[in-house]
Amino acid sequence: MRDVFAEEGARARRAMVREIEAYGALRDPAWREAFARVPRHLFVPSYYVPGPGGYERLWSGDPDPARRTRWLRGAYRDGTLATRVRDGELLSSASQPSLMARMLEAIDVREGHDVLEIGAGTGYHAALLCHRLGDTHVTTVDLDEEITESARTHLAAAGYRPAVITRDGARGCPEHAPYDRIVATCAMPSVPSAWLAQCRAGARILTPLSTGLLLLTVQGPDRAEGRFLATSAYFLAVRGGSARSVPRRTGGLPRRMYDDERFAFLTGLAGESLGTREALSLWQRERRPERERFGVTVSGGRQWAWLDDPEGPYAWPLPDA
């Protein structure tokens, strides 16, 4: 059965790579080769798909050949996969491969770089990094011991053995520092100061914030600055000491306003620092500003978001991390 999965999986991977390339990602041949070689199906031996009345589980050991085929083909679709569901609530998921590709290309890893991943997930993202850099250059952390154990098992099955550590990702992993790149695969309310302290000067940090991807360049142990990528990104919130819940506010505005992706990004980034009316006023004056016009500065224990210019008129504090 494994040989059948390997052969069919290889065909499915080639199709997945073509699909990702059609979206404009995988311009780097080294990442293209990683996506073509790392067997994603080994990292999602089971997952859930929406079905009548809830979720339906697909898995590699299903006695029904047709359902096994559905599982294998689904593992290589360019989409997010629900990997843990409890009482109808989504607890964890495997990210969309094309989004992973964009994130990996954005951090611009080079040979010899040491990378810290926040949020181990299924282990697939760490496997791609291992394929590119080698096991000893990759560390992945997650607060949930069940997730790290599962990721470790998946990685070993695929032939990769990076450091997989159970801990609050907001604290980083100082024993394997310093890092050249830090990439988070869970949404953060702000940038943890521990990450900067564990980076070499010139390192890059990529983290989901609001519904965007923030790319920072580290200038020192307490200084970093950068802008958001153009692409949208929706990740589950980080668990642990930095987790915060920001209520979805309407502030008397029509709910359709929050269906506008750019406005939802702005209000998510503004958090509780800007009132709803103030956010709307900025939004209207600047004519629906794109994500890449926004950025974040971290300096001297403070951090703030801004539009166009870190020292400009549109700036507001982010929560301490």
Active site residues: 92
Coil/strand/helix, residue 138: strand
3-state secondary structure of 64: coil
Q: Is 287 left (phi over 0), alpha (psi -120 to 50) or beta?
A: left
Q: Which residues pair with 214 in a beta bridge?
A: 207, 228
Bridge-based pairing of strands 212-220 and 115-118 is unpaired
Q: What is the largest CA-CA distance in the chain?
A: 62
Q: Which run of H or of E encompasses 186?
A: none
List, in sequence order, the alpha helices (H) in 41-184: 65-75, 97-107, 124-133, 145-157
The answer to whether 282 touches 240, Cβ cutoff 8 Å, is: no
Dihedral of the CA atoms 213, 25, 131, 1 (nearest 10)? Answer: 110
Angle between the N-to-C axes of helices 2-22 and 97-107, in degrees from 0 to 180, rounded to the nearest 10: 70
Question: Which residues sit opposite 228 in a β-bridge?
Answer: 214
In whole angstroms, give the CA distance from residue 60 to residue 277: 51
Contact 189, 206 (CB under 8 A): no
CA 16 to CA 72: how far, in whole Å? 12
